[in-house]
Amino acid sequence: MELTRPWKVIGHALLTLASLAVLVPMALVVLAAFKPHNEIFSSVPWPQNPTWGNFVALFRDMPFGQYLWNTAGTTVLRVGGQIVIAILTAYGFARWQFRGRDVAFALVLGAMMIPHQLTMIPIYIMMGNLGWFDSWTALIVPNLAMPFAVFLLRQHFLAFPPELYDAAEMDGAGHWRALWLVVVPNLGPALSALVVVLFIDCWNEYFWPLLVTDSDHARTLQVGIRQYLQEEMADAYGPLMAGVTLVSLPALAVFFAFQRRVMDTFVSSGLKG
Amino acid sequence: MADIVFDGIEKRFGTVAAVARFDLDIGHGEFVVLVGPSGCGKTTSLRMLAGLEQPTAGRIRLGPDDITDRPPRERNIAMVFQSYALYPHMTVAENIGFSLRLKRMSKREIAAEVAQAAATMGIEGLLERKPRELSGGQRQRVAVCRAIVRRPQAFLFDEPLSNLDARLRASARAEIRTLQQRLGVTAVYVTHDQVEAMTMADRMVVMKDGHIQQIGRPLDVYAHPANAFVAGFIGAPAMNLLPLARAPFAAAGPADALVGVRPEDIRLDPASCIRPQPFQARLRHVEALGAESLLHLDHDGLALQMRLPGSWQGAELPQFFVDAARLHLFCGRTGARLPASV
């Protein structure tokens, strides 16, 4: 149904307000990152004497590079692992007939509905028993199985043209080679959308790394910046804003680069499922 | 010795029998067409031969080997799919060479084989293109190319021409048949188009509801259909099938029988019939096709079709004749051909 002009104007006004509500705080953070210490609480939102000093302080006064390495490393390994596991699991659910398949898939869907906070304490205890505290392993392994990713990819596998599976089989491919040589290369849009979502989810994660890391050795950026600035540089809001700006950049860049693909994938998975 | 043997093959999906008691021997180098309406079990039979479906009962042999339980990759059979099933992310050359790549042949060998297969189908200029850059006819040629590059023991075709326009389909029919004869490979071809079956097959297998209705050479099946279904399915336009009791012409047979007459066996000139039987009918409509005309007749609510060579130049109320020597009789209850038929 075509909207009339007044409703269009109202709609656009509301969307503009909602966008501003998100964008203004972000802009203030970025602008504050370039303010010297004495301008941080100034009522003028932009820096009158812009400086890179806050960024320099980040690398000089705290192990920002180590945090960045921990975050990037664990994110790459975790997202890679999540994708591989999700592809294999989703393919099994979509293509194989086996006893208990539907029950198993229902359990996977059920796992999507259990709040993460509910399972944190048992997993936390498990990490302790395994001696994995304060390591990349604790940041990566408990999060490798992502029910949401399995669900999303299964929908795409189900919508994949069955003749291509058949053609691959006729050409001599077993399940393994059909999956990696024919199916996965044609899942480009879905996979890139999934990578974006998983990347942002992992990159921005705060609570789990806060629980299982205890030193700069494994601490991620999100936790590190807050803890370091709270404990070592209590009133250093400039470096804090610089840190937040830097931390946000990769996630924002990835999202803006792939946002259309992300939307298309989720819309189509809903329709095709 | 038969190259492919279906021995008592059955396929059930739950309580539904998609294919029931399918027995067929296919000779080496033979071109066999499975033909029937949608849902008759022809594609399921082909997929069981390919290994893409497992039969519920029965055995399939290829040459001396029982291949019933072998996966597709161990059968040395190639298949051309209805949608062509070309891999969208690969070039034409990669599509054709994919099976050879899986056999771990060297890149040089693959390139040589692909070039040879491409030359056979005349698609050398398309090798670097992606499937989305090809027309329907080109895709179909690539799909055939992908099948022949493997040098299989048998070709399977699953309605490969159904996505082509009528003109291209006619030339593709001849091309596939010529290629199969040149390579001397056994071929099993599935179609719902009886013209394809008639023009391409050494033998055709007419199927309905999972059951084989008739196996035979196309002209034999056309001339001596085993039952009313085959009589109505094979031939375009279809055979006129009328209840004997209401037929406008005389024919000997049980009262509940069906009498069949091909459209070309209704004539205007009694001299062209061995035993002419006159009848009256109202001319409702004429389809002028150039080389021939199709006349739609009506007799007391019964519709008949008649085929005439050339264009219709007849009178308003013509006299029609059937050749009693060319009538077909079928049991009204079972549809089976009755012995009194020609």
In tens, the pLDDT along B95-153 reads 999 999 999 999 999 999 999 999 988 899 999 999 999 998 899 999 999 999 989 99
Of A163, A177, A185, the CB nearest to B102: A177
Helices (H) and strands (E) in chain B, counts: 8, 19
Q: Per-residue confidence of chain A (273 residues) as pLDDT tens digits?
A: 567 788 889 999 999 999 999 899 999 999 999 998 888 888 888 888 889 988 888 888 888 889 999 999 999 999 999 999 999 999 999 998 899 999 999 999 998 888 888 888 999 999 999 999 999 999 999 999 999 999 999 999 999 999 999 999 999 999 999 999 999 999 888 888 898 889 989 998 999 999 999 888 899 998 988 887 777 666 778 888 888 898 888 888 887 877 777 666 665 544 333
Of A167, A172, A177, the CB nearest to B85: A167
Question: What digits encode the pLDDT tens for the residues B268-293?
Answer: 888 888 888 888 888 888 898 888 99
Of B78, B87, B146, the CB nearest to A182: B87
Written as six digits, the tokens of A262 are: 């992300």
Chain A: closest CA distance from residue B294 (Å)? 40
Same domain, B141 and B82: yes
- Measured in degrees and rounded to the nearest 5, phi and psi for residue B39 equal 80, 10
Chain A: closest CA distance from residue B128 (Å)? 18
Same domain, B30 and B179: yes
Lookup result for tokens 């592809």: A87
* Mutation target among B80, B99, B142, B145 for the A interface, most CBs of A within 10 A: B99
Same domain, B137 and B270: no
Domain boundary among B172, B206, B228: B228
Residue of B nearest to A176 (CA): B102
For the entire predicted model, the pTM comes to 0.81
Question: What digits encode the pLDDT tens for the residues B173-190?
Answer: 998 999 899 989 999 999
Same domain, B115 and B263: no
Number of CB atoms found within 10 A of residue B320's CB: 23
Say yes or no for a CB contact (<8 Å) between B87 and A169: no
Number of CB atoms found within 10 A of residue B71's CB: 14
Type of residue at B207: M
Chain A: closest CA distance from residue B165 (Å)? 22
CATH class of segment(s) A52-272: mainly alpha
Domain boundary among B228, B257, B278: B228
Q: Beta-strand (E) ranges in B14-142?
A: 16-27, 31-35, 57-62, 65-66, 77-80
Same domain, B287 and B313: yes
Same domain, B40 and B98: yes
Say yes or no for a CB contact (<8 Å) between A174 and B73: yes
B77-80 β-sheet, strand order: B77-80, B154-158, B186-191, B31-35, B203-208, B211-216
Alpha-helical (H) ranges within chain A are 5-33, 53-61, 64-95, 101-113, 116-130, 136-140, 147-159, 162-170, 175-177, 188-203, 207-212, 221-231, 237-272
Lookup result for tokens 């209704």: B266
Same domain, B177 and B263: no
Whether B339 is in a domain gets the answer: no
Say yes or no for a CB contact (<8 Å) between B87 and A186: yes
Q: Check: CB of residue B217 under 8 Å from CB of residue B205.
A: no
Q: Check: CB of residue A147 under 8 Å from CB of residue A183.
A: no
Q: Check: CB of residue A220 under 8 Å from CB of residue A74.
A: yes
The whole-number pLDDT of residue B317 equals: 64
* Mutation target among A170, A180, A183, A187 for the B interface, most CBs of B within 10 A: A170
Q: How many domains does chain B have?
A: 2
Which residues in chain B have their CB less than 8 angstroms from residue A172's CB? Answer: 72-73, 99, 102-103
How far apart are the C-alpha atoms of B110 and B108, rounded to whole Å?
Answer: 5
- Measured in degrees and rounded to the nearest 5, phi and psi for residue B299 equal -125, 105
Sequence length of chain B is 342
Same domain, B44 and B191: yes
Domain boundary among B160, B194, B228: B228
Quote the DSSP letter at residue A229: H
Q: Assign B232 a pLDDT band (cuts: 50, 70, 90).
A: very high
Of A60, A14, A116, A12, give the one whose Cα is nearest residue A239: A60
Say yes or no for a CB contact (<8 Å) between B52 and A170: yes
Same domain, B166 and B279: no
Domain ranges of chain A: 1-50, 52-272
Type of residue at A35: K
Chain A: closest CA distance from residue B20 (Å)? 23
The whole-number pLDDT of residue A152 equals: 92
Quote the ipTM score.
Answer: 0.85
Say yes or no for a CB contact (<8 Å) between B73 and A172: yes
Whether B310 is in a domain gets the answer: yes
- CATH for B183: 3.40.50.300
- Measured in degrees and rounded to the nearest 5, phi and psi for residue A22 equal -85, -45
Same domain, B210 and B286: no
Range of the domain at B266: 238-330
Angle made by CA atoms A5, A6, A7, in degrees to the nearest 5: 90
Same domain, B46 and B194: yes
Residue of B nearest to A165 (CA): B85
Residue B80 pLDDT > 90: yes
Buried/exposed B84-96: b ≥16 CB within 10 Å, e otherwise: bbbbebbbbbbbb
